[in-house]
Amino acid sequence: MGFSFLTQELAMDLGTANTLIYSSDGKLLLDEPSIVAFDKTNDKPIAFGRAAAHMYQKTNPNIVTIRPLRDGVIADFNAAEQMIRGFIRMINPKRRLFSPSLKMIVCIPSGSTEVEIRAVRDSAEQVGGRDVYMIFEPMAAALGAGLDVYAPTGNMVVDIGGGTTEIAVISLGGIVTDLSLRTAGDVFTSEIQQYMRQQHNIRIGEPTAEAIKIKVGAALTELDEVPEPYIVRGPNLMTALPVEVAVTSQEIAHCLDKSLTKIEASLLSILEQTPPELYADLVEKGIYLTGGGALLRGLDRRLQEKINIPVHIADDPLKSVARGTCMALKNSEKLPFLMR
């Protein structure tokens, strides 16, 4: 047993859109947007997570809000470090940074380069991580979706996060084929912004586009349950006078069609590379969708019609990756696929 009470064990899903932190006993300690706000006059962080998100794109010149992760990897090293530090302080308000020691497992996109992996490791060590492990996102997503990743059968996950879409076939505790695609939630959001400009002559910010995606986002024009149109208010591009537009799910399905076609093409290319025996398993068991993008209305049906393989949405897909990271934390000594 030793001094384990002096070690705090944390599983972190450091996402482009949200950061989730679990403790080793499976308790969700933190679920916050991955945003940090700085005071420009002294370069000190003043808000993290939800508090910073409320300021996002609404600040005065002295305050800047930063999303430190782009496309699933750290784009702003200093801001990422400050944000992780802030989050760990939120979990342990009384904790001084040097005690107790932290054992951390952080989840990263499967397409991460050596440099990107080192950036995550350095950030974790800077905030007091003594023992830092990494796990690839598709592996964590598969664990979190309840798949048996050690079995000698094929499992396929499609994890659509904020920055990346991770597609992987997993068997015998390892990734057989995988692909990390930079078409995901953030791209959907900016496409909605563009669509509103072009079709409705209305200028909207990222938070509003995100709200449209959640309220009426869809992958198919024909849905079983059609959500009510969502009312958007903003300035007209030509006159700057306020306008009101009712956005429907059909419009959003059209607007996201190009990106979803890209995801379908990547899915097909991974299936082409899958060994035939594993392919047979996938046809039988189906493909699992995780991540926030799995909540896009009709996406499971659209993919199923495209590839003729059953598509299932994991339970609580937003937390799949974080839950899987937490499961890996419990067995970190034994797992072959963790990186140190």
Residue 1, pLDDT score: 34
In angstroms and rounded to an integer, the radius of gyration of the C-alpha atoms of the chain is 21
Between these two residues, 176 and 110, which has the higher pLDDT value? 176
Please, what are the domains in the chain? 4-140+321-330 (3.30.420.40), 147-313 (3.30.420.40)
Mean pLDDT computed over 224-253: 95
Strand segments (E) across the chain: 7-14, 18-23, 28-33, 36-39, 44-48, 63-66, 69-70, 73-74, 101-108, 129-136, 155-160, 165-171, 174-181, 230-235, 242-247, 287-290, 311-313
Contacting residues for 301 by C-beta, under 8 A, at least 6 apart: 219, 220, 311
Condensed to tens digits (0 to 9), the pLDDT of residues 271-327 reads: 999 999 999 999 999 999 999 999 999 999 999 999 999 999 999 999 999 999 999
Q: Which DSSP symbol is given to 228? A: P
Q: What share of the chain is helix, strand, coil (3-state, %, to 5)?
A: 40, 30, 30
Residue 47, pLDDT score: 93
Is 236 a residue whose pLDDT tops 60? Answer: yes
Q: What percent of the chain has pLDDT over 90?
A: 69
pTM assigned to the model: 0.90
